[in-house]
Structure 1
């Protein structure tokens, strides 16, 4: 199976949870723990202890799912988790969508009758400071905070999960305390409804920014938000004295052709500088973009940049690694930290827990982008085409505030333009 989250989504049943785990449930959970190679010996022992503690307990469906999520989170591996987008198929969610920014949590969208809530800052959820709930979510998903941030708002928007986690509420409505200018904060209570994510979003989710694109003046929409439905595009930009290349996914039957066409276009255009935007790329197949990245490094005689975020994950990290390895110090990484470490476990498959139809992703093959991963348990493609880099952290770290977003500003892109204009010729 190629690197990345397996594109597998099993429709959830609405059947009620039995009062105790069945033998099939226990066997499935133990099978998951046995198969996932990311657990340290200590974490695996703790996970199995947690399975034993669940046996015979009477739990609500949501309580059980959170315990399963915790068992997966003990592996502390980005590719080892109970898939949060699937919660939308089983639990009603608030009709209000939330989004994280450098300066806080904000309402990204609301139903027509509550449109006035869009753009408001969230002070508290269920009477608790929102950051307390943000921190509490770490119990249910391992790996880096930057990747957890891509899913935490689903947890925040789901009353049944918050109640099951002991974070207040009645399991049916969501209480938000919203900033109100200079006045007293406003408390609103929001009903929930079953609104399942569909298609790929049911597995990978999607950036919260997409919910609020309508808030941005169309005339001021920055490049990175102008074609979010496209997996790949190349644009020549005068302010860059070069090209902007956006790769939003590393999967799909059309991507190899698009990449080949993109290379042809870049060869003809002969840009001095190239910017590769990977901030929305959750991965797929690491083999698809490898040759593209290697060749790209030689097409810019000036400067080469990559834009990253917490959604730069899985095969997107591999692609970034190949670009860095080919370009060396010439590559300047800009933006927010990527979604995983340079050593992680991936590939694998899924286990379904029968009672709740919850799908848990496990990982079986090592990836190490520092050493080149020579070990026998490394993913074959990485052993054949190794990556050896010291770091993929941003050289120029930028963050996005809600005010930036509303104004159509892109701090990462703006930093690149300034660097090109102010720095010595590459």
Structure 2
């Protein structure tokens, strides 16, 4: 099968549609496009997809990428980056007995060396690469491409268990399953790949001490439930002006930040006295980052950012859409509009409704580093209570 029909929309994105390629050397684009064309003419689907990943990663823009999840098979292992380490969180083979555990090496090659080799395939910040990169550790074709090919039918993994011991396990390549079973296209970083948000807002009331809001997603395809949830959260926030406020947007991959403005207004009014803490992580993306940026701009030092760097910086290209590739079954996400929340700038590509809201938030530096691991079973209610007590 030829994948030339898949290459056409990819080249259209790179050369015409997506403004994030505007600063890329044309000769570099031409060189990688030639590689992709060569593999598109062959029958090795995975090799073509890897070449397309590298081409699209040239933009350096995390929103612009090839998403191979629906087109490839992987070993039945789910890897997720926690902090800067890769963890096995779930498996459908005997390897499951080790989960959760830290990944040390694949086929004798250390994880860090594989990550360095994979950087050219992954676009965006180092944090975004840590979000989408773990898929490569379970993708046999990618392991070959990255210089750690398996010996025969077995792929050997070396792990470090929770008690500090080392374990090795072999997984048969013939056990491979569709990647989407273990790696959702919209990676959320949860232990279980089938996790989905349970509602848009969870309210945790600690009486006079404070209030915590969990905001797992800003994406509502029906555009009805989300505004209602935001209004309800805003009402709660306005009713509790004397307590500490904690907002949790870890794992929130975005959606419609404009619909969150009533809550942003309520937080701004209520947090001016006691301040506000917001929890973020590398799985905080897009509209959730904008949500934090506006709060930082409005509250200044009254906003305490706790966690780790988010999945993007404050200057990125977004909007755009998704194109399904008919021959391979993969898809590409492209961008059409500039968002510059660091400097407060817009250009002709920025939608007017977004340009009207853009502010110069500066650098969103984390005030307190805090990352949990799969070994930490502390319930959210207990965590929020601890934070509120610390901040009171």
- Taking the TM superposition and a 5 Å limit, the aligned residue runs for 1:407-422 are 416-417=387-388, 419-421=390-392
Partner secondary structure for residue 270 of structure 2: coil
1:231 pairs with 2:200 = yes
3-state SS of paired residue (1:177): strand
> Could you tell me which of 188, 197, 207 is aligned with 1:206?
188
SS of match in other structure, 1:33:
helix
8 Å contact from structure 2 (residues 114, 146) kept in 1: no
Task: Find the aligned partners of 2:234 and 2:185 in 1 and give their Cα distance.
Answer: 30
TM (normalized to structure 1)? 0.80
Partner residue, 2:249: 278
CA 1:380–1:212 in 2, change beyond 3 Å: closer, same or farther? closer
Q: Which runs of 5+ in 1 are unaligned?
A: 1-16, 214-226, 422-426
Task: Tell me if structure 1 keeps the 8 A contact 2:338–2:346.
Answer: no
Q: How many residues align?
A: 382
Is residue 126 from structure 1 mapped to residue 97 from structure 2 by the alignment?
Answer: no
Contact 1:251 1:288 in 2 (8 A): no
The offset of 1:330, in angstroms, is 0.8
Q: In the alignment, which residue of structure 2 is the partner of 1:243? A: 211
Alignment gaps of 5+ in structure 2? none
Which residue in the other structure is 2:370 paired with? 398
How far residue 328 of structure 1 moved from its aligned partner, in angstroms, is 2.0
Question: Are residues 82 and 97 of structure 1, via their aligned partners in 2, closer, same or farther at CA, if it must alter by over 3 Å?
Answer: same
Alpha-carbon deviation of 1:75?
Answer: 0.1
Q: For the Cα contact (< 8 Å) 2:80–2:87, is it kept in 1?
A: yes
* Structure 2 residue 177 is the aligned partner of structure 1 residue 194: yes
User: 1:174-223 deviations in whole A, cap 9, x for unaligned?
Assistant: 3212336676642422453324537xx7431231434699xxxxxxxxxx
Q: Say if 2:36 and 2:52, in contact at 8 Å, map to a contact too.
A: no
CA distance in 1, matches of 2:172, 2:21: 39
Aligned-partner Cα distance in 1 for 2:130–2:153: 24
| Shift in CA distance, 211/360, structure 1 to aligned 2, threshold 3 Å | closer
Change (3 A) 1:316 1:184: closer
The TM-score, its normalising length taken from structure 2, stands at: 0.86
Q: Which residue of 2 aligns with 1:39?
A: 21
Deviations 1:385-410 (A, max 9, x none): 2222122221112223444x246699
Q: Say which of 116, 128, 145 aligns to 2:97.
A: 116
Deviations 1:340-388 (A, max 9, x none): 1111111112344443132111111111113322432323223212222
**Which residue among 321, 330, 335 is the counterpart of 2:307?**
335
Tell me the residue number matched to 1:142: 123
Aligned to 2:150: 169
Query: Aligned in 2, Cα 1:414/1:139: closer, same or farther, shift over 3 Å?
Result: farther
1:49 pairs with 2:31: yes
- Higher RCO by CA contacts (8 Å cutoff, separation 6 or greater): 1
Counterpart Cα distance in 2 of 1:262 and 1:408:
21
183-192 vs 352-361, which deviates more?
183-192
- Cα deviations across residues 141-166 of structure 1 (Å, max 9, x unaligned)? 21111122222222212223322444
Q: Distance in 2 between matches of 1:407 and 1:386?
A: 37
1:81 aligns with 2:72: no
The answer as to whether partners of 1:107 and 1:120 remain within 8 angstroms in 2 is yes
1:424 aligns with none
Secondary structure of residue in 2 paired with 1:357: coil
- Indicate which of 229, 239, 242 corresponds to 1:268: 239
Quote the offset at 1:168 in angstroms.
1.0
Shift of 1:415: 7.5
- Compared with structure 1, are the counterparts of its residues 243 and 375 closer, same or farther at alpha carbon in structure 2 (3 Å cutoff)? same
Change over 3 Å in CA distance of 1:187–1:202 after alignment to 2: closer
Q: Is the 8 A contact 2:315 2:341 kept in 1?
A: yes
**Distance (Å, rounded) in 2 between the aligned partners of 1:365 and 1:107:** 36
Distance 1:61 1:45 in 2: 25
1:236-278 deviations in Å (ceiling 9; x for gaps): 125x811101111112131100010112223334451111111
